[in-house]
A = this chain, B = another copy of it.
């Protein structure tokens, strides 16, 4: 009899590959020195949190009473914080949210779990678009749902809406999108979202069901070249937004984010109440209290986007010059680069020989590509480019 549950066993087995890469990074660093290992595998922001965040932290513990700052509140979060977030969204996106639409969560990962637990019955289908963040599968399976993956359009990496339309059935309870996208950096346009909304409305009518569009938006504020990231709730009534401050305020370890459950959602207040209970019983209880108070004071702050943009341009330029193919990312801090050989794991291995660590696209259900995270130092990118060039040359690629 195994100690570990049957449901956890495959996760434990799969995890060894991720661990192996992590261990390999440590081994390379030990042999060659950390400065000679170019780790592009993680989404851990290199840009520090805005100074206003650390200032707010100190001010809050000095100015606000301990029992408030560190104490329990409504499981949905502090009311003034939720009001401040709704007001900020309304200012920036011309929405009409109020406190009752905002549920503070332990980051977007927990927000996704909370809304999936609220909605899913065993056997319910959830659709998402490849390439996608592999944890979606684990989150959906937590509630015995079935994640099904729509194949990618590798020309544009915009969502393949024709296939989506064909794949929706009466068991489809939710569709998860992620824009700006991990791993491609693509942003869904207003046109895309309009079409997506129409398809979902049509299918709701055809099947007499409710289909919830779950928009996972930790990268919302990371958009370059002035590209707009349309606010998804405007395009479809049954939308729930999962947000995180992990990237916009460089606070990934703090686990602070929120769900937006709009009034337009079917049975909105019942869903909100159920989600608050899900937030409690999944063990979060509430989002970390001090960080909630910090958000209250820093609701319109943002980490230095310029730094990521400089990284993006340097890396894109360098990879193109070397001869690699890649859609130029408009958002997030990832580049999804075409592997010069069909089996991208072999390409990852060639990169590793240059002490460059990247993630195979098969980890995102999109083989033939690799993900390069550029939320690292400018210097790391600069010093890695000769290695990328040597790899390109070995593959016979011709740069621009």
Q: Tell me the A residues contacting B by CB distance below 8 Å.
A: 1-8, 11-12, 15, 42-46, 48-49, 53-54, 57-58, 61-62, 65-67, 69-73, 105-107, 109-114, 117-121, 135, 138-139, 142-143, 208-210, 212, 250-255, 265-267, 270-271, 273-274, 277-278, 280-292
Contact = CB atoms under 8 A, between A and B. Distances in A.
Contact of A289 (B5, B73, B254): B254
| Count of this chain's copies in the oligomeric assembly | 2
A251 B70 contact: yes
A3 B266 contact: yes
Nearest to A207: B1
A42 B72 contact: yes
Contacts of A72: 42-44, 252-253
Contacts of A250: 66-67, 70-71
A114 B8 contact: no
Contacts of A274: 4, 8, 11-12
Given A54-B66, A283-B114, A253 B73 contact: yes
A71 B253 contact: yes
A1 B374 CA distance: 44
Nearest to A66: B48
B54 A67 contact: no
Contacts of A11: 274, 277, 281
B5 A273 contact: no
Most chain B beta carbons < 10 A, residue from A58, A114, A283, A288: A283
A250 B3 CA distance: 34
Nearest to A48: B66
Contact of A6 (B15, B42, B121, B251): B121
A105 B210 CA distance: 35
Contacts of A73: 253
Given A49-B70, A58-B58, A3 B271 contact: yes
A46 B61 contact: no
Nearest to A111: B283
Nearest to A78: B253
A265 to B, nearest CB: 8
A16 to B, nearest CB: 9
